[in-house]
Amino acid sequence: MTYCIGIRLNAGLVFLSDSRTNAGIDQISTFRKMMVYEGADDRFMVLLSAGNLSISQSVREILQLEKIDRGPDQPALTIWNAESMFDAVRVLGSAVRRVYQQDGPSLKAAGIDFNASMIFGGQIKGEAMRMFLVYSAGNFIEATRETCFFQVGESKYGKPILDRVLTPGTPLDEAAKCALVSMDSTLKSNLSVGLPLDLLVYREGSFCTAQMVCIDDQNPYFQMIHSTWGQRLREVFEGIADPVWDGSGAEHPLAPSARHAPMGKISKPEDRIV
Q: Whole-model pTM?
A: 0.94
Q: 209 falls in which pLDDT band (50, 70, 90)? A: very high
How much is the pLDDT for 255?
Answer: 84
Spatial distance between the Cα atoms of 9 and 33, rounded to a whole number of angstroms: 22
State the Cα–Cα distance between residues 128 and 121, nearest whole angstrom.
11
Count of domains forming the chain: 1
Spatial distance between the Cα atoms of 33 and 116, rounded to a whole number of angstroms: 12
- Sequence-distant (6+) residues with CB within 8 A of 35 are 46, 47, 49, 60
Domain assignment present for residue 82? The answer is yes
161 lies in a domain?
A: yes
Range of 134's domain?
3-233
Share of the chain above pLDDT 90, in %: 87
Q: What's the per-residue H, E or C state across the chain?
A: CCEEEEEECCCEEEEEECCEEECCCCCEEECCCEEEEEECCCEEEEEEEEECHHHHHHHHHHHCCCCECCCCCCCCECCCCCCCHHHHHHHHHHHHHHHHHHHHHHHHHCCCCCCEEEEEEEEECCCCCEEEEECCCCCEEECCCCCCEEEEECCCCCHHHHHHHCCCCCCHHHHHHHHHHHHHHHHHHCCCCCCCEEEEEEECCCCCCCEEEEECCCCHHHHHHHHHHHHHHHHHHHHCCCCCCCCCCCCCCCCCCCCCCCCCCCCCCCCCCC
Q: Give the residue, 233 or 26, on which the prediction is more confident.
A: 233
> Does 57 reside within a domain?
yes
Question: What's the CA gap between 68 and 9, in Å, rounded?
Answer: 30
Is the confidence at residue 248, as pLDDT, over 80? Answer: no
pLDDT tens for 92-124 read 999 999 999 999 999 999 999 999 999 999 999
Let me know if residue 261 belongs to a domain: no
What is the average per-residue pLDDT within 213-230? 97
Phi, psi of 97 (to 5 degrees): -65, -35
Neighbours of 219 (CB within 10 A): 18
pLDDT value at 3 more than 70: yes
Q: Is the pLDDT of residue 20 over 70?
A: yes
What is the per-residue pLDDT for 24?
Answer: 65
pLDDT digits (tens, 9 = 90+) for 51-66: 999 999 999 999 999 9
Using the Cα atoms of residue 167, residue 168, residue 170 and residue 172 in order, give the sign of their dihedral: positive
Q: What residues have CB less than 8 Å from 109, skipping those under 6 apart?
A: none
Let me know the angle formed at the C-alpha of 164 by 159 and 170, rounded to the nearest 5 degrees. Answer: 105
User: What average pLDDT does the segment 68-87 reach?
Assistant: 96
pLDDT at 246: 85
Residue 16 lies in a domain: yes
CATH of the domain at 48: 3.60.20.10
Q: How confident is the model at residue 40 (pLDDT cuts 50, 70, 90)?
A: confident
- Distance separating alpha carbons of residues 47 and 50, to the nearest angstrom: 10
How would you label 190-206 residue by residue, b for 16+ Cβ within 10 Å and e otherwise? bebbbbbbbbbbbbeee
Q: Is residue 253 part of a domain?
A: no
**What residues pair up with 120 in beta bridges, in sequence order?**
47, 132
| The pLDDT of residue 23 is above 70 | no
